[in-house]
Structure 1
């Protein structure tokens, strides 16, 4: 499971130029799910989303997480995060997961975030829907998360 976590001043989900979902300060996380992903990956990514310290920066480090600061979380499913360019210029997905199974794991991620955190601060785009995302990246701060390397190593 891959994630791109961005610290945001705001993030909006738009449909036909109308806002259907919006968060204020927090993180927007784009999530990609591969055929190798299992519930252990869901647990790992959920804990990273809530625990990565990207808030309360001083001259040496960031001190607080989404969990510490009670910020909002917006998750956006994005299969393109799995794409890689191996030869030439055409991105390809090496091992995509079947849509139904991927949707199930994505929904488990949202459930896990809601259980570990405040469910009123966890928001999600609909899996498989075309969404336009508008956001203001704060910092900018962008963090790459990947569960497979973590689960293989440790």
Structure 2
């Protein structure tokens, strides 16, 4: 699984002109699922994401997590995170998991994020044409891959 995690002042997902989900202070998480991913990958990423200390404390030091500040999380499925760009200029998404694998793992990641943060995780709509709007705060952007646990 791959994520792009952005600390945001606000973020929203709009589908067919209607806002599906919106958050204020918190995290926007773009999530890509590959064919080899498992529930273990989802659990590791959810725990790590919820615990990332990327919010400022009273001294202006990034020392607090989204759960420490009572922030919200918005998760958006993003199969294009699995792009292979090794050959040519047209990305290949051959590593992106099919719906029968990716939808259950996406849902499990969201369930685990809710459990980790103690706050309902908001979502886009899997497979929909979504318009994602955000105000990156910082900017702070972290990329994580469950297969490359740096």
Pairwise TM-score range, normalised by the shorter structure: over 0.9
Structure 2 equivalent of residue 71 of structure 1: 71
- Tell me whether 141-150 or 10-19 shows the greater mean CA deviation: 10-19
**1:20 positional shift:** 2.4
- The structure-2 alpha-carbon separation of the partners of 1:15 and 1:98, relative to structure 1 and needing over 3 Å to count, comes to closer
Give secondary structure in 2 for the equivalent of 1:3.
strand
Structure 2 equivalent of residue 3 of structure 1: 3
- The structure-2 alpha-carbon separation of the partners of 1:119 and 1:68, relative to structure 1 and needing over 3 Å to count, comes to closer
Structure 2 equivalent of residue 21 of structure 1: 21
Conserved? CA contact 2:32–2:96, under 8 Å: no
Q: Which runs of 5+ in 2 are unaligned?
A: none
Q: Which runs of 5+ in 1 are unaligned?
A: none
**Deviation beyond 3 Å, 4+ runs, structure 1:** none
**1:94 positional shift:** 3.9
Distance in 1 separating the partners of 2:108 and 2:141 = 24
Distance in 2 separating the partners of 1:123 and 1:53 = 20
- Correspondences of 1:2-151 after superposition (within 5 Å): 2-56=2-56, 61-120=61-120, 122-150=121-149
Name the count of aligned residue pairs. 149
Give secondary structure in 2 for the equivalent of 1:53.
coil
Conserved? CA contact 2:72–2:119, under 8 Å: no
**1:144 positional shift:** 0.3
More helix by share: 1
Deviations 1:114-141 (A, max 9, x none): 1222233x11112111110111111111
Deviations 1:47-91 (A, max 9, x none): 1110111101657x5111111111100000000000021122111
How high is the TM-score relative to the length of structure 1? 0.90
Distance in 1 separating the partners of 2:75 and 2:130 = 12
CA RMSD of aligned residues (A): 1.6
